[in-house]
């Protein structure tokens, strides 16, 4: 059986839990507390030298890291990842957008606020990340103004971008000016097999 090393409050982890739930793939969940340094122990680093969750242990003993790579692997051959070349490339485009332009801004602001990591020294970086996070939301808003999902039907591109967008308010982002994003969030929640972030910790 697959084993998922994960932290309950991680949106990156939630992406994988949501895909596993929607694909009805059984797995064993192993909680790792990043606040207690449990991703930096010798045992964990032997599984993922980059010291991050989520980490998926495959049945052949290989450990796969990077949430969006895990999503691609799980979704291959399913409704969540089309076979057509251009659609696949566009899904990958949004997955890289998420990890480069969205997560480092929106998720990091949320993490600092939720984990008591704000300090006067961090204020400039926080302000810069808020600007860049809003820029990412604007790119999403423009794209979704004429589409129901990011690339054709509901896919892992939607799962990846939903994870931290739906909790953006916890990073002090106001989605009031993003009606297309807000409507898309509601469409994602209506998808078959959807599980909310908290409930996704009990597979």
- DSSP SS3 for 10: coil
Q: Which of residues 144-203 bind its own copies (CB under 8 A)?
A: none
* Radius of gyration from C-alpha coordinates of the chain: 17
Q: Which of residues 3-62 bind its own copies (CB under 8 A)?
A: 49-50, 58, 60, 62
**Cβ closer to its own copies: 130 or 194?**
130
Q: Which two tokens stand for residue 78?
A: 């399913």
Residue 107 CB, shortest distance to its own copies, in Å, is 11
DSSP tag of 143: H
- Angle between helix 11-22 and helix 156-165 axes, rounded to 10 deg: 140
With beta carbons less than 8 A apart as the criterion, state whether 106 and 164 touch.
Answer: yes
Residue 6: what are its φ and ψ, rounded to 5°? -155, 165
Residue 92 CB, shortest distance to its own copies, in Å, is 4
Q: CA 91, CA 54: separation in Å to the nearest integer?
A: 20
- Dihedral of the CA atoms 12, 161, 68, 149 (nearest 10)? 150
Task: Find the length of the chain.
Answer: 203
Residue 21 CB, shortest distance to its own copies, in Å, is 20
Mask for 87-126, x = binds its own copies (CB under 8 A): -xxx-xx-xxx-xxx-xx----------------x--xx-
Mask for 52-71, x = binds its own copies (CB under 8 A): ------x-x-x-xxxxxxx-
Residue 93 CB, shortest distance to its own copies, in Å, is 4
Residue 196 CB, shortest distance to its own copies, in Å, is 25
Using CB under 8 A as the criterion, which residues of the chain lie in contact with its own copies when the complex forms? 49-50, 58, 60, 62, 64-70, 72-73, 76, 85-86, 88-90, 92-93, 95-97, 99-101, 103-104, 121, 124-125, 138-139, 142-143
């Amino acid at each position: 059986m697959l084993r998922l090393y994960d932290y309950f409050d991680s949106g990156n982890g939630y992406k994988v839990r949501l895909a596993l739930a929607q694909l009805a793939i059984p797995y064993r969940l192993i909680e790792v507390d990043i606040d207690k340094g449990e991703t930096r122990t010798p045992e964990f680093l032997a599984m993922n030298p980059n010291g991050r969750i989520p980490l998926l242990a495959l049945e052949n003993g290989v450990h796969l890291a990077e949430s969006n790579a895990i999503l691609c692997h799980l979704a291959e051959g399913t409704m969540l990842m089309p076979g057509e070349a251009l659609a696949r490339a566009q899904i990958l485009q949004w997955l890289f957008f998420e990890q480069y332009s969205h997560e480092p801004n929106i998720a990091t602001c949320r993490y600092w606020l939720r984990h008591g990591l704000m300090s006067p020294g961090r204020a400039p970086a926080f302000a810069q990340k808020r600007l860049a996070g809003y820029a990412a939301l604007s790119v999403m808003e423009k794209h979704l103004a004429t589409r129901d999902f990011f690339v054709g039907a509901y896919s892992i591109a939607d799962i990846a971008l939903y994870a931290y967008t739906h909790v953006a308010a916890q990073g002090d982002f106001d989605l009031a000016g993003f009606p297309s994003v807000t409507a898309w969030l509601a469409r994602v929640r209506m998808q078959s097999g959807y599980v909310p972030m908290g409930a996704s910790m009990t597979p």
